[in-house]
Amino acid sequence: MTRTRHRLAPTLAAAAATVMIAASSVASAAASEHHDTPSHPSTAATTTPITHLVVIYQENVSFDHYFATYPTAANPAGEPRFTAAASTPSVNGLTGALLGASNPNSVAPFRLGRAQAQTCDQDHSYTGEQKAFDSGLMDRFVETVGRGSATCADYGKGPGLVMGYYDGNTVTAMWNYAQHFAMSDNSYGTTFGPSAPGALNLISGQTHGFAQTSPAVTANGTVIGDPQPAGDVCDSRDVTTSTDPKNRNVGDLLNAKKVSWGWFQGGFADCSAKHTDTGGVTSTDYIAHHEPFQYFSSTANLNHTRPASVAEIGHAGPANHQYDLTDFWAAVDAKSMPAVSFLKASAYQDGHAGYSTPLDEQTFLVDTINRLQKSPDWKSTAVVISYDDSDGWYDHQMSPIVNQSTDPAHDALMAGGTCGTGTDHVAGGYLDRCGYGPRLPLLVISPYAKANFVDHSVTDQSSILRFIEDNWTTGRIGNFSFDAKAGSLDTMFSFSGESRSDGHARTLILSPTTGQPAKA
């Protein structure tokens, strides 16, 4: 795809003249309490017509867990129906022998229905996931990462629950988005491991250069577990922070280009806020180790200071680009949506097994995307739905190993305690960055997304970082970031009008309850 430069319109100026809201305090959680200050119009250019990127970063889903049988759903009575368009392309999912007794795992894959939306959390540790891959045989999921017990919803499967998957009768919205826009069946976690490494790879493409907490969390100075950001007022346990002066993140790059941006997370304004999911599990909205910018002193807002005004949102100010999710909608309503926005749902809606469900996640995704499609900026917006890790859920596809590691204490992909067998592909000599990790869902929803398109090119979490770098010409992160080798998202877009079936400004409004197209 040939990129051409586009001038980003100054979206804040008109809104700033009309927005006058009272000043907020640090204790206030409501975005409506901002007062007005002068706007900060951006002059940054883009290389595509996309001048607004919204990354919805969800939790703990493997590709097969949501798309194993796409585009064929079971359609039992009492569940929302899904019928694919005749022209729907196939994906690398579970078919034939992999769905039956010939599957190499000790439990065959099985369908979970809407009534089984609440499940146990699976093991998704850096070492455990490598063991499940078993040198690429993909046959040790039940024995290494499967979790189930009488104290959580395992539906009598015990550790065999890890082989469960949903179809278009439960994750109906996701399947409908795939029908109308673009999805990938060949995208991976940048490295193995849980939420914190995935979030760090999204914004910086690197997990090395962090303060040592414990070998199980920051092995050799590399984040492989879920330490919390040191100094965050919501911290409750072990912490770490970036200590390598060469480490940077995409926020640093965007600031240098004067591009507006922000991370918006549910519960950021109130560490004690809680919600209950549809299965009856109550959790705290804000999870500290899901907020990657807090690990870097240049982009941290450790006291969760509220922005001084709506006009500040996306720009330099007391909040330092770190906000509550309500602040995003305050900016959208003021017609001043930042150029780059990362959205993190409150925990009960982030899709993480154990305290969230696919149905709660669907409500968040659909409400968010419906609202964005009705905004005046939709014509220049791309939404990327991506995930931080697989939760350990079974996926049959072995990932390409583009970066090796030889730490016998934590690497276990190959016999003998390694990820690969040599040291020549250990980028920068930094250990414990074995990757790519498990396969994850990735969707692009935009007027410029190809329609009913499946991308088979190899991408990873840092491909989103690369798209931002390329679109806003920021340059690369450096210091052996994975962005240097990340595959491009470009093939999921069409900026010439080809492969877009129903026009430049097309939308798809869905029901947040059923995930089906909403009736007029």
184-211 confidence digits (pLDDT tens): 999 999 999 999 999 999 999 999 999 9
At residue 4 the predicted structure's pLDDT band, cuts being 50, 70 and 90, is low
Tell me the average pLDDT across 71-95: 96
Nearest to 483 by CA among 323, 195, 252: 252
> In this model, does residue 404 exceed pLDDT 80?
yes
Report the distance separating Cα 481 and Cα 489, nearest Å.
17
At residue 201, the 3 state secondary structure works out as helix
- Look at residue 424 and tell me whether its pLDDT is greater than 80: no
| Of the candidate ranges 307-321, 409-423, 470-484, the one whose mean pLDDT is the lowest | 409-423
Q: Contact, 182 vs 453, CB < 8 A?
A: yes
**pLDDT digit string (tens) for 346-384?**
999 999 999 999 999 999 999 999 999 999 999 999 999
Q: Which two tokens stand for residue 143?
A: 């024995």
Is the confidence at residue 26, as pLDDT, over 70?
Answer: no
Which domains occur in the chain, in start order?
A: 6-492 (3.40.720.10)
Task: State the chain's maximal CA–CA distance in angstroms.
Answer: 66
pTM score, two decimals? 0.91
Percent of the chain clearing pLDDT 70 (strictly above): 89
Average pLDDT over the chain reads 91
Phi then psi dihedrals of residue 443, to 5 deg: -130, 145
- Evaluate if residue 314 carries a pLDDT over 70: yes
CA-CA distances (angstroms) from residue 417 to 44, 127, 131, 134, 391?
Answer: 47, 10, 10, 11, 22
Compute the 3-state secondary structure of the chain and give helix, strand, coil in percent, each to the nearest 5: 25, 15, 60
Name the pLDDT band for 17 (thresholds 50, 70, 90). very low
